[in-house]
Structure 1
């Protein structure tokens, strides 16, 4: 799609800005289990814990306690839980950050991410290591996290919150995400969309515009 009518861009974070591998985290958490439990079983049988944390319905402390209960391992230290949970966060290619800085000079750009406080702290450290900037806020006009809004994609209310917060014209606002259900939900509220896939990420997409 052409960008000549675009004035604002809303970016997802995981899988778009930062590379992620969620299975790494669930395997690491399953490894803390006192008995035997696969990562698939860990997720499927306890999905509500992760959803509640992502929507900010429980605190960091409550999330860690939940992990101790589901792994039947009350002696796990906070740092061990955090390290396992953060293992899904991989790296941020410098080219993506350079792309964001270029775009910020031309558009209003935002983050809208399904995430949680433990991950926010971790990926801000990755940002600092990769760019020297204190946190991801440097690259955007504003960031929106599901755990702060008590909403998550693909709920239509979360898109509408960002739209209303900045009085955005949906026809001139591009939403960028790697998950099809989030793209479809964004399109349903009128946003223009770009679906990030393995064969085309944001560096390549915006380079040819």
Structure 2
């Protein structure tokens, strides 16, 4: 029986443009693919292992023909709108007090600060959750098993009592290996507000 719902943030509540952001970044960096060093550095930043200043310095040093504003625009390009009907969905869930609600997101300081600026109801959204875990704050990152074990241990949860919703297959597969129920949501055809219809068999 599901007692705890664990939600990703991007492409579950807030819309992202991953393809557009990648295309824009490759265009301004004049690359065909991201280098392994860039991928690693991005992951370090998302995990809170380097500061925003160190992150920006890395890109300024490697792409000296770009300025800070251009790099920030490229980095934040991925962040799009947060439909308010999804806020109403999570508010209703919170008010019913039937499930423990947890947010577990791979994100970083620049993205979350931009979201706070753009999304007028960010604090209202955050208050719906019993726990609100952001990777750069807890220095753990999906799909590593350590982040799921951290959430389970800190909240005294049994994996079989949890449902984890995420749009990235690597993340849901990693959680599934630990015995957590999962929904790998397809953001192009599915919506979190239809959770109890699409995953009806779990409830």
Q: Which runs of 5+ in 2 are unaligned?
A: none
Matched, 1:100 2:90: yes
Give the equivalent residue in structure 1 for 2:111. 119
- Number of aligned residues: 196
Question: What is the root-mean-square deviation in Å for CA atoms of aligned residues?
Answer: 2.1
> Which residue of the other structure, out of 38, 49, 53, is the alignment partner of 1:46?
38
- The residue number in structure 1 matching 2:137 is 148
Runs of 4+ in 1 over 4 A off after TM superposition: 30-33
1:89 is displaced (CA, Å) by 0.5
Cα distance in structure 1, aligned partners of 2:19 and 2:37: 15
Alignment CA distance shift 1:150-1:95 (3 Å) = same
Q: Could you tell me which residue of structure 2 aligns to residue 81 of structure 1?
A: 71
The answer to whether the 8 A contact 1:114-1:146 is kept is yes
In the superposition, the TM-score normalised over structure 2's length comes to 0.86
Unmatched runs of 5 consecutive residues or more in structure 1 = none
SS in 2 for 1:46: helix
Distance of aligned partners of 1:12 and 1:18 in 2 relative to their CA distance in 1, 3 Å threshold:
same
What's the secondary structure of 1:84's corresponding residue? helix
Task: Report the TM-score when normalising by structure 1.
Answer: 0.84
Q: Does 1:189 align with 2:178?
A: yes
Q: Secondary structure at the match of 1:134?
A: helix
Aligned to 2:59: 67
Please point out which of 6, 13, 17 is paired with 2:9: 13
Change (3 A) 1:25 1:135: farther
1:92-115 Cα distance to aligned partner (Å, 9 max, x none): 111111111111223211111111
